[in-house]
Each structure stands twice: as structure tokens, then as C-alpha cells.
């Protein structure tokens, strides 16, 4: 399936049972909510999906299940966040065999690579697969920035096609468009910058709170692309207290708790993570309940 790298692409949470097994029934329920809302694809095994705690066998199960469920209706994208080039290549090639339609590729994990090392890493992985790739540019959390100069060196790699823009600098959308035109598709990667980056010309977004509120997330995207900025702002302003969960170090727990309240997820996380408790939980519940009381209505 071809990937256009636009629209809303959820970075899905991984559903677990109380016995710490994959909950494929609940995963299917969430997939159904996402497809009904009109998302453009799904990402499996991102940081929100607790990828570092998943085994290769679990990743294979999730990808094959999603590919079968989607049945060519929507692309399935697999996240790659490995410490060694060899491991990243192996996972990329496995994902292709499992039937994935694309890859999201982070810089090397745990070791802060130089610009030269990062570019070579991306090129080495890209050359080992035919799948289209979106790079994840998140220097805030992962300490390695993919600069304009580095993108220039990657522009001749045909299957590196897009970037998840998470630098927190909204002007990067304009800088990328000015320098490269449409060579790289740009997807906003920070929920709290959704309106600003889409309005600046981003092609789509890789979202987190969409896991719990798919219709509202898709509505913001559609409103902005239709230049209905007033309507988009109304939803965005309602959404903002929830979107703040996406930039919290415990975003997994916050977003999973929110999924419980919208009926399309569970709170089970994999150790060492623990569910929210105490005041953090009380404050989060208040934000969620307040939002649900005033939730916009969409047909």
C-alpha cells in the first residue's frame, strides 16, 4: 500500500491484559475507533506504544494483527528505535516481511551520535529496505537533532520521505518548506502544537491523544485543511488541557487513563511503568472528566 504521509496518523498505545499479555481484542476495538474516525494510517511500537518493553515476537504479533485487520484499507507503520545499526536493519527487514507498509526511524538510541554518524545510520537502514520511511526528529527527548544540513544529505535517499517534526520549534515547518519544498512531507509530532504547525503548512500529524479522541483529532486536521480556522480553534482550545498529557514524561500512563474514560483502552502498563496514582491521578481525572462534560459533538 502506498503512503502519502498526510492526515492523522496515531502513534498507538499497546494494549495489555491484567496478566501482562497483549490484549488483541481491545487493540481491535481501538483500531476500529481510529478507522471510523478517518485516520490516515497507524504507527505500532512507538515510545507511546512502550516499544522498549516489547519483545520481537510481540511486535510481530501486533504488526501482523494490524495488517490483517486493515486489509489494505490503511497503512501500518512500524517504529524503529534501536541502539545499533545491525539491530535497526534486522527490525526493518522483519517489519517488511510481516507486511508493514512503512517505517518510522529514530536516530540511534542510548548513544548520542554525531551528525555524520546519524546520517550514515539513516542511509544504512534505508538502503536495507524498500519500505518508505519517516524520520523522527525529537532532540528534546532523544538529544539528537536532524538539522537542515543533515536533511540535505538525505535528500537523495528516495525512501526517506517524511519527518515527524518534534523539535518544539514551529518555525522548522517553514524552514523545511523553504529549503526543500515538497521533497519531505512534514508531520507535526507534538500534540500541543497541532494547530500552529498545520496552519504553517505541515502535511499532517503523528498524534498521541488521538488514541483516546480520534474524531476530535481528525476534525482539527480537516478544519485547518479546509481553512476553517475558527472551527479548528474551538476544538483545539477545548482539547488543549488533554493535549498537555502528550508532553508529560508519563504520557503513556496519562493517555492510557484517558483511553479508559473514552472506552477504547485500558490502564494496564508494563513494568517498570506504574499507573498514575495520588494527586497526579486525581488531577488527570479532573481534566478528563471536565473535557468529557464539554466534548464537541461530531456526526
Predicted confidence (pLDDT) at residue 299 exceeds the cutoff of 70: no
Predicted confidence (pLDDT) at residue 298 exceeds the cutoff of 80: no
* Mean pLDDT, residues 110-127 taken together: 97
CB 92 within 8 A of CB 80: yes
How far apart (Å, rounded) are the C-alpha atoms in residues 25 and 161? 33
Q: Identify whether 189 is part of a domain.
A: yes
How far apart (Å, rounded) are the C-alpha atoms in residues 153 and 253? 38
Place of cell 481501538: 30
Q: Identify whether 170 is part of a domain.
A: yes
Q: CATH number of the domain that 19 lies in?
A: 3.20.20.70
* Whether 136 is catalytic: yes
Is this prediction's pTM over 0.75? yes
Q: Identify whether 1 is part of a domain.
A: no
**CB-based contacts of 242: which residues, under 8 Å, 6+ apart?**
209, 212, 213, 258, 287, 288, 291
% pLDDT > 90, the chain: 98
Predicted confidence (pLDDT) at residue 81 exceeds the cutoff of 90: yes
Q: Identify whether 2 is part of a domain.
A: no
Q: Is the bond leading into 272 cis (omega within 30 degrees of zero)?
A: yes
Predicted confidence (pLDDT) at residue 236 exceeds the cutoff of 80: yes
Predicted confidence (pLDDT) at residue 281 exceeds the cutoff of 90: yes
Look at residue 101 in the predicted model and tell me its pLDDT. Answer: 98
Query: Which pairs with CB-CB distance under 8 Å and at least 24 residues apart come from 279-286?
Result: 280/250, 281/257, 284/245, 284/254, 284/257, 284/258, 285/257
Range of the domain at 266: 7-293
Look at residue 256 in the predicted model and tell me its pLDDT. Answer: 98
* Residue-wise pLDDT tens digits, 166-191: 999 999 999 999 999 999 999 999 99
Q: Identify whether 106 is part of a domain.
A: yes
* Mean pLDDT, residues 45-52 taken together: 96
Q: Identify whether 197 is part of a domain.
A: yes
* Whether 164 is catalytic: yes
% pLDDT > 70, the chain: 99
Q: Identify whether 177 is part of a domain.
A: yes
Place of cell 501482562: 20
* Residue-wise pLDDT tens digits, 207-221: 999 999 999 999 999
Number of structural domains found in the chain: 1
**Active-site choice (121, 136, 236, 268):** 136
* Residue-wise pLDDT tens digits, 127-140: 999 999 999 999 99
**Active-site choice (15, 59, 164, 185):** 164
Predicted confidence (pLDDT) at residue 64 exceeds the cutoff of 70: yes
* Residue-wise pLDDT tens digits, 28-40: 999 999 999 999 9
CB 108 within 8 A of CB 124: no
3-state secondary structure labels for all residues of 30-42: HHHHHHHHCCCCE
Q: Identify whether 298 is part of a domain.
A: no
Compute the C-alpha angle 218/223/228, nearest 5°.
170
Q: Taking all residues of the chain, what is their mean pLDDT, rounded to a whole number?
A: 97
Amino acid at each position: 500500500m502506498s503512503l502519502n504521509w498526510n492526515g492523522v496518523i496515531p502513534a498507538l498505545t499497546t494494549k495489555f491484559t491484567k496478566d501482562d499479555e497483549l490484549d488483541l481484542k481491545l487493540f481491535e476495538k481501538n483500531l476500529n475507533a481510529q478507522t471510523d474516525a478517518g485516520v490516515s494510517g497507524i504507527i505500532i511500537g512507538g515510545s507511546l506504544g512502550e516499544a522498549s518493553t516489547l519483545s520481537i515476537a510481540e511486535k510481530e504479533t501486533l504488526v501482523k494483527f494490524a495488517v490483517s485487520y486493515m486489509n489494505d484499507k490503511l497503512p501500518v507503520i512500524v517504529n524503529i528505535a534501536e541502539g545499533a545499526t545491525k539491530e535497526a536493519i534486522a527490525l526493518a527487514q522483519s517489519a517488511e516481511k510481516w507486511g508493514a507498509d512503512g517505517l518510522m526511524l529514530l536516530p540511534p538510541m542510548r548513544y548520542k551520535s554525531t551528525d555524520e554518524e546519524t546520517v550514515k545510520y539513516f542511509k544504512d537502514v534505508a538502503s536495507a529496505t524498500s519500505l518508505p520511511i519517516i524520520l523522527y526528529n525529537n532532540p528534546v527527548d532523544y538529544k539528537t537533532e536532524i538539522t537542515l544540513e543533515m536533511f540535505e544529505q538525505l535528500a537523495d535517499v528516495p525512501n526517506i520521505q517524511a519527518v515527524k517534526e518534534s523539535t518544539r520549534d514551529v518555525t522548522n515547518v517553514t524552514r523545511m518548506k523553504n529549503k526543500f519544498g515538497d521533497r519531505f512531507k512534514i508531520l507535526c509530532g507534538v500534540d500541543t502544537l497541532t494547530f500552529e504547525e498545520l496552519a504553517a503548512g505541515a502535511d499532517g500529524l503523528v498524534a498521541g491523544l488521538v488514541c483516546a479522541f480520534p474524531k476530535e483529532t481528525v476534525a482539527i486536521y480537516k478544519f485547518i485543511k479546509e481553512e476553517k480556522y475558527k472551527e479548528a480553534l474551538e476544538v483545539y482550545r477545548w482539547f488543549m488541557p488533554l493535549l498537555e498529557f502528550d508532553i508529560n514524561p508519563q504520557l503513556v500512563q496519562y493517555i492510557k487513563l484517558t483511553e479508559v474514560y473514552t472506552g477504547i483502552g485500558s490502564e494496564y502498563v508494563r513494568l517498570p511503568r506504574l499507573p498514575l496514582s495520588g494527586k497526579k491521578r486525581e488531577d488527570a481525572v479532573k481534566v478528563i472528566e471536565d473535557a468529557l462534560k464539554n466534548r464537541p459533538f461530531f456526526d
